[in-house]
Structure 1
């Protein structure tokens, strides 16, 4: 089945529901994405509404990956709005629905994001992820360089605190 990746310019209710399902499923699997499981409906609606506003303002890019017209993965790129930082962008919320993980979808989505960023004049990507998370191995395998950690940066529902690792990748 071919994977189709495309920028999503506006979040229709159907698309918002599919993205909410992705996010909820990833958080349920233990991904540290800024939310505790389960994510409440108002939190979810507020988050995706904010994303939609930023898409309309062209201050955020959302890429969706489809198999058989079903959204299975997404990733966001937030270009820096500061005059002296317009060459960089932050990668946020790389989501692959658990039913589709370990199939190379995240790698293809990141390759598309890198090409998209390059065409937009972005030459430096930055991101953060919970230290020790499986995502660290993925980002390192895709050429991101770890710059360091901030201890006690995120917490889980029990109040336990965890470090966050910061990564960058210089694009050609």
Structure 2
């Protein structure tokens, strides 16, 4: 079994795998911007739109034996005063392959790629109380707050959204001195 992470510069050949992956994650309870009754065509359209925006994104796929089982991407801020930051979007791992370290590997890889692009701040959001909150805290993301009543499910039940960030080491400090990024925050 061969496992590898690959940067995807086009999603065209992976569109159906990404659609199925997103659909499975949504149906397993992940809050990913869609309700569980979403039509697969809407998910395919989502990936087609993302594919047209890859010039402002870093997109990584996790493959096992050439099958896409996970992905993550970020969108770099386009504001002149925000070029140092990016927003993590759609960290997905096929339910059958969860809890095997794939999400951690994807996040560590995207953080390395961000640092190479002089991105020093990553931000993300997730449903408050979801298992993903524990995951992000475990990989050293800091919760900055939450907004209640932010998203709803198929039954009209509302949930809050929590916001997280991580300050990355500037490229100039990588491999020079081991330190905890939290110590850089003053």
The 8 Å contact of residues 19 and 40 in structure 2, kept in 1 or not, is answered as no
- Give 2:82's match in structure 1, choosing from 74, 82, 85: 85
Counterpart CA distance in 1 for 2:105 and 2:38 is: 27
Is 1:146 matched up with 2:140? no
Count of matched residue positions in the alignment of Structure 1 and Structure 2: 169
Query: Following TM superposition, by how much is the alpha carbon of 1:2 offset from its aligned partner in structure 2, in angstroms?
Result: 4.1
Alignment of 1:71-110 (within 5 A): 71-110=68-107
The 8 Å contact of residues 154 and 164 in structure 1, kept in 2 or not, is answered as yes
The 8 Å contact of residues 150 and 164 in structure 1, kept in 2 or not, is answered as yes
Aligned CA-pair RMSD: 0.9
The 8 Å contact of residues 72 and 97 in structure 1, kept in 2 or not, is answered as yes
Is 1:61 matched up with 2:58? yes
**Partner residue of 2:38?**
39
Query: Following TM superposition, by how much is the alpha carbon of 1:86 offset from its aligned partner in structure 2, in angstroms?
Result: 0.4
SS in structure 2 opposite 1:122? coil
Instruction: For structure 1, list consecutive stretches of 5 or more residues without a partner in the other structure.
Output: none
SS in structure 2 opposite 1:112? helix
The 8 Å contact of residues 24 and 38 in structure 1, kept in 2 or not, is answered as no
TM-score with structure 1 setting the length: 0.95
Is 1:27 matched up with 2:19? no
SS in structure 1 opposite 2:56? coil
**Partner residue of 2:184?**
none
Is 1:123 matched up with 2:120? yes
TM-score with structure 2 setting the length: 0.88
Counterpart CA distance in 2 for 1:170 and 1:7 is: 22
Query: Following TM superposition, by how much is the alpha carbon of 1:45 offset from its aligned partner in structure 2, in angstroms?
Result: 2.3
Query: Following TM superposition, by how much is the alpha carbon of 1:166 offset from its aligned partner in structure 2, in angstroms?
Result: 0.3
Runs of 4+ with deviation above 6 angstroms:
none
Which is higher, the Rg of structure 1 or of structure 2? Answer: 2
Q: In the TM superposition, what whole-angstrom CA distance separates every residue of 1:109-131 from its partner, at most 9, and x where no partner exists?
A: 00000000000110000000000
Q: In the TM superposition, what whole-angstrom CA distance separates every residue of 1:88-112 from its partner, at most 9, and x where no partner exists?
A: 0000000000010010000000000
Instruction: For structure 2, list consecutive stretches of 5 or more residues without a partner in the other structure.
Output: 170-186
